[in-house]
C-alpha cells in the first residue's frame, strides 16, 4: 500500500490529488488512460465506492473525461479562442503560453480582385488583392491553415514585407490601419486532402472553418479570410446577450 | 440553339441568369450538379471561354460551388445562426422560414446536481436538476440534438410542463425568468454513433458541438447545455470588435 501523506484529508481526495499531480507533471499525458476503478482498488487498497469517488473527483475537476465503456482519459486541453474579440493568431498563442511560428505556403497577386460570401452577404475587394496561404504553428505543431485575401489598395507593396510574422502588426505599424470589425462564419467540415496534407495528418479530422471579412472602417474591406482550425486543438468561445 | 431574350445584355450574363433561374425555381435543387462546361457549349452553342465565364458568374454569385475534378453543384444553403444573440431554436427556425418541431428523447431528474466546464471554468447547478434530451426538426428534418440540464430551483415542476415546444417560452411565461447571458464553447467533432443514430444518419459527419451555460442574473445559473448541430446544415455567425 502506498503512503498517504496527509491522513487528516479524506482518503478519496488525497488519492485523487496524487493522480492529478501525475497529470500536472506530465507523467500522464493528454489522451492517456488514467488508472481504472479496478486498478485504483488494487494499487491503493480502497473500496470500489472510494475508487469511483476518486475517478469522479478527477473528472469533475476537469482533468479527465470518462468515455462510456472504455475508460477515463486525461483531458486533451484545447486552445480557447474568443470569437468575439479581434485577436491575431500570434498574440492568442503567446497568451496561451505557446511559441508561435509561421510558414508561408503560397502567395500571389490577384489583379481582378476577390469576393466571398460571409453571413449571407457577398463581400468584394477590388484588385489588386494579395493572396497568401500560411500554416501557423504553436511550439512547432501545425494548428491552423489560413488563406487571406488582402486589399493592396490599403496595403501597397504588402508582398515586399516579411510575411512570417503577425499581419496585424504589419497593418498597424507599416500601414497605420486600425481594424474596426470582423464578421465570421464558423462551420464544422472534414478536412479535404489538400488541407490535411498541410497538417501532415494521415486521417481526415474535423476542422472549424472560419470564413470572414475584416473591416478597417465603415464599408472599408481590408481582407477576406478562409481558415481551417484543427478540431482536435481548438475551441471557440462566444458570449451572447 | 435556345432563344436569348435580351440581346443587349452580354451573352454570358444572359445564360448565367437562365441557369440561376432554374436554381431559384427549384428545377435545380441544392446538391444537384449544374450543367458542365461541355454541356453549356453544346446546349447554348457558345465558346468554351463563354461557358467558363458563365460557370464563374454562377459560382461568384454564390449559387453554386465548384468541386475540383468533379463538377459544379448547387449550393446547399446552410442555416445561419448568430452566436452572439440569445435565440432559441424555435424562433431561429421560424425566422429562417422553416416549421420547427421537437421530439423528447429522454428526461430525468438529477438530485445531486450537474456540472460542466465552459470557457475554462467549471459551472455547477445544485440539485434537483432536470435533464432533458431533445431532437429538434426543421420541416421534419432532424437538425440538432440537445442535452439540457436545468435548475429546478428556478423552474420547479418543470417536468410537469409540455416539453415539445420552446423552453425559452416556458422560462419566460411560466417562470417569469429573463435570460441575461450565455457563454458557449463551439467545437468541431465527429458525431459519435449514439448521436448519429438520433439523426438517422448512417455515416458519421462533423457536428458543431456547443457546450454552454445560460445565466438568469449575476452568478445565477439557469441551465447547462450540450448540443450537436449538424455540420452540413449549420453555420454560426459571429461579429468581433
Alpha carbon distance, N-terminus to C-terminus of chain A: 53
Distance CA B220, CA A220 (A): 41
Cβ distance A187 to B241 less than 8 Å, yes or no, reads no
Predicted TM-score (pTM) of the model is 0.73
pLDDT reported for residue A156: 96
User: What nine digits make up the cell of A204?
Assistant: 481526415
Residues 6+ apart with CB under 8 A from B182: A239, A240, A241, B86, B212, B213, B214, B215
Query: Measured between beta carbons, which residues in chain B are less than 8 angstroms from residue A117?
Result: 62
- Partner residue opposite A62 with nearest CB, options B122, B208, B241: B122
Instruction: State the nearest Cα–Cα gap between B204 and chain A, in angstroms.
Output: 11
- Give which of B142, B159, B128 is closest to B200, Cα–Cα: B142
Instruction: State the nearest Cα–Cα gap between B2 and chain A, in angstroms.
Output: 31
- Partner residue opposite B187 with nearest CB, options A82, A190, A235: A235
Q: What is the pLDDT of residues B114-151, one digit of tens each?
A: 999 898 888 999 999 999 999 999 888 899 999 999 99
Q: What angle do CA B37, B43, B46 make, to 5 degrees?
A: 65
- Domain ranges in chain B? 11-74, 79-237
Q: How confident is the model at residue A1 (pLDDT cuts 50, 70, 90)?
A: very low
Q: Residues in chain A whose beta carbon is closer than 8 A to a beta carbon of chain B?
A: 60-62, 78, 80, 82-86, 115, 117, 119-120, 122, 180-190, 205-208, 229, 231, 234-241
Minimum CA–CA partner of A117 in chain B: B62
Cβ distance B182 to A241 less than 8 Å, yes or no, reads yes
Kindly give the interhelix angle for B37-44 and B48-60, rounded to the nearest 10 degrees.
120
Alpha-carbon distances, residue A136 vs A101, A139, A141, A165, A241 (angstroms): 6, 10, 8, 10, 32
For A20-26, which contacts have Cβ atoms below 8 Å and span 24 or more sequence positions?
A: A20/A58, A20/A61, A20/A63, A23/A63, A23/A64, A23/A74
Instruction: State the nearest Cα–Cα gap between B64 and chain A, in angstroms.
Output: 12
Residues 6+ apart with CB under 8 A from B220: B154, B180
- Give which of B121, B104, B119 is closest to B210, Cα–Cα: B119
Distance CA A192, CA A204 (A): 7
pLDDT reported for residue A212: 96
CA B95 to centroid of chain Cα atoms: 12
Would you tell me which CATH number, out of the four given (3.40.50.920, 3.40.1410.10, 3.20.20.10, 3.40.190.10), belongs to the domain A79-237? 3.40.1410.10
Q: Which of A80, A180, A188, A228 to probe by mutation at the B interface, max B CB count within 10 Å?
A: A188
Cβ distance A80 to B122 less than 8 Å, yes or no, reads no
- Partner residue opposite B117 with nearest CB, options A62, A85, A186: A62
pLDDT reported for residue A5: 54
Query: Measured between beta carbons, which residues in chain A are less than 8 angstroms from residue B117?
Result: 62
Q: Residues in chain B whose beta carbon is closer than 8 A to a beta carbon of chain A?
A: 60-62, 78, 80, 82-86, 115, 117, 119-120, 122, 180-190, 205-208, 229, 231, 234-241
Cβ distance A80 to B206 less than 8 Å, yes or no, reads no
- Partner residue opposite A181 with nearest CB, options B115, B119, B239: B239
> Is residue A127 predicted with pLDDT exceeding 70?
yes
> Is residue A111 predicted with pLDDT exceeding 80?
yes
Kindly write down the DSSP assignment for every residue of A222-240, as one continuous string: EEEEEEEEETTTEEEEEEE
Q: What angle do CA B184, B186, B187 make, to 5 degrees?
A: 150
pLDDT reported for residue A219: 87
Output the CA torsion A229→A221→B74→B137 (10° steps): 60
Can you list the residues of chain B whose pLDDT is less than 70? 1-7, 62, 76-77
pLDDT reported for residue A112: 92
Cβ distance B122 to A207 less than 8 Å, yes or no, reads no
* Average pLDDT over chain A, rounded to an integer: 89
The count of CB pairs under 8 A between chains A and B is 131
Cβ distance A234 to B122 less than 8 Å, yes or no, reads no
Cβ distance B208 to A186 less than 8 Å, yes or no, reads yes
User: What nine digits make up the cell of B212?
Assistant: 454552454
Instruction: State the nearest Cα–Cα gap between A41 and chain B, in angstroms.
Output: 25
> Is residue A24 predicted with pLDDT exceeding 80?
no
CATH architecture of B11-74: Orthogonal Bundle (1.10)
Sort B26 into a burial class: Cβ within 10 Å, 0-12 / 13-18 / 19+. exposed
Do residues A146 and A225 make contact, with C-beta atoms less than 8 angstroms apart?
yes
Distance CA A130, CA B228 (A): 37
Mean pLDDT of A43-61: 90
Instruction: State the nearest Cα–Cα gap between A171 and chain B, in angstroms.
Output: 16
Q: Which of A70, A78, A187 to probe by mutation at the B interface, max B CB count within 10 Å?
A: A187
Output the CA torsion B229→B118→B182→B217 (10° steps): 150
pLDDT reported for residue B1: 46
Domains A11-74 and A79-237 belong to one CATH topology: no
Mean pLDDT of A191-206: 87
Amino acid at each position: 500500500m502506498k503512503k498517504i501523506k496527509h491522513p487528516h484529508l479524506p482518503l478519496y481526495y488525497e488519492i485523487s490529488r496524487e493522480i492529478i499531480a501525475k497529470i500536472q507533471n506530465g507523467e500522464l499525458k493528454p489522451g492517456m488512460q488514467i488508472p481504472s476503478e479496478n486498478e485504483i482498488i488494487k494499487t491503493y487498497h480502497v473500496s470500489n465506492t472510494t475508487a469511483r469517488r476518486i475517478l469522479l473527483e478527477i473528472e469533475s475537476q476537469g482533468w479527465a473525461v470518462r468515455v462510456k465503456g472504455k475508460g477515463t482519459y486525461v483531458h486533451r486541453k484545447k486552445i480557447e479562442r474568443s470569437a468575439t474579440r479581434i485577436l491575431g493568431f500570434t498574440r492568442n498563442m503567446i497568451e496561451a503560453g505557446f511559441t508561435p511560428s509561421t510558414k508561408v505556403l503560397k502567395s500571389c497577386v490577384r489583379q481582378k480582385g476577390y469576393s466571398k460570401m460571409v453571413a449571407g452577404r457577398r463581400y468584394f475587394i477590388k484588385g489588386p488583392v494579395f493572396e497568401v496561404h500560411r500554416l501557423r504553428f504553436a511550439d512547432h505543431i501545425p494548428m491552423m491553415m489560413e488563406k487571406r485575401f488582402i486589399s493592396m489598395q490599403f496595403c501597397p507593396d504588402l508582398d515586399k514585407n516579411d510575411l512570417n510574422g503577425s499581419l496585424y502588426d504589419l497593418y498597424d505599424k507599416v500601414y497605420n490601419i486600425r481594424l474596426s470589425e470582423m464578421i465570421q462564419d464558423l462551420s464544422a467540415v472534414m478536412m479535404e486532402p489538400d488541407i490535411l496534407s498541410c497538417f501532415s495528418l494521415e486521417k481526415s479530422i474535423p476542422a472549424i472553418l472560419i470564413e470572414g471579412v475584416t473591416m478597417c472602417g465603415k464599408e472599408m474591406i481590408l481582407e477576406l479570410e478562409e481558415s481551417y482550425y484543427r478540431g482536435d486543438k481548438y475551441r471557440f468561445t462566444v458570449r451572447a446577450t
